Amino acid sequence: MAARFTLQAASLRGALRGSCYLRARLSASVTGIRFASQEHKPGLVESTEEYKFVERLIPPSRVPDPPRHPGPSPSGWAPPAGSPPSLPYFIHRSRMHNIPVYTDLTHGNRKTTLVRKVEGDIWALDRDVREHLRGVTGREQPTQVNEVTMTLRVKGHFDKELKDWLLSKGF
């Protein structure tokens, strides 16, 4: 008997709560009605004069071109040659105006050097890099050419040698 009474009380309480909730929703939605004639829309003002303040907040996508100077800067950075070299390949500078030669260390002891941003005949670059490193180290260094990403990977850390060699070529 007590269980039946509790069940009836719970169902009555749920029905009352539902009707109060429905009444509250209906009264809130009725009071929120506005007609289009009563609505005041603010006018839109477009000013190109103040856009200069917005442009100052947008960061540049590239570092500005550095000033031209004859030799390397105190940090060691050197500007590219005035005209590109007449070779079957070209190596673009990075967006920070550096030569894109990077070292990589994987699996704890596997050292490689990566040359990126190659345009043109990457196989000619591979030949020239092998020849240069043969003169520097005295032996043939294994290389890997990726024609899809236009990158050249050399076994060993030769970033300083390759950067100096590319600078002497005029890149």
The CATH number given to whatever domain includes residue 133 is: 3.30.780.10
Contact between residue 91 and residue 115 where contact means Cβ atoms under 8 Å apart: yes
| pLDDT above 90 for 71 | no
The answer to the question of residue 57 being in a domain is: no
The answer to the question of residue 98 being in a domain is: yes
Q: Which two tokens stand for residue 132?
A: 């240069």
**Residue 116 lies in domain:** 89-169
The answer to the question of residue 111 being in a domain is: yes
Tell me: the pLDDT tens digits for 17-29? 655 555 555 555 5
Tell me: the pLDDT tens digits for 78-98? 888 888 899 999 999 998 899
pTM: 0.63
- CA-CA distances (angstroms) from residue 53 to 42, 46, 56, 64, 102? 24, 14, 5, 19, 38
Specify which of 46-50, 83-87, 161-165 reaches the highest per-range mean pLDDT: 161-165
Query: Model confidence at 61, in pLDDT bands (50, 70, 90)?
Result: confident
Exposed/middle/buried for 136, CB within 10 Å: 0-12, 13-18, 19+? middle
158 vs 6, higher pLDDT: 158
The answer to the question of residue 124 being in a domain is: yes
- Please, what is the end-to-end C-alpha distance for the chain in angstroms? 95
Return d(Cα 166, Cα 80) in angstroms, integer.
10
Exposed/middle/buried for 18, CB within 10 Å: 0-12, 13-18, 19+? exposed
Query: Model confidence at 110, in pLDDT bands (50, 70, 90)?
Result: very high
The answer to the question of residue 17 being in a domain is: no
| Number of structural domains found in the chain | 1
Mean pLDDT of 62-66: 82
Query: Model confidence at 162, in pLDDT bands (50, 70, 90)?
Result: very high
Residue 20 has a pLDDT of 54
| pLDDT above 60 for 3 | no
Lowest average pLDDT, out of 35-39, 45-49, 117-121, goes to 35-39
The answer to the question of residue 30 being in a domain is: no
The answer to the question of residue 45 being in a domain is: no
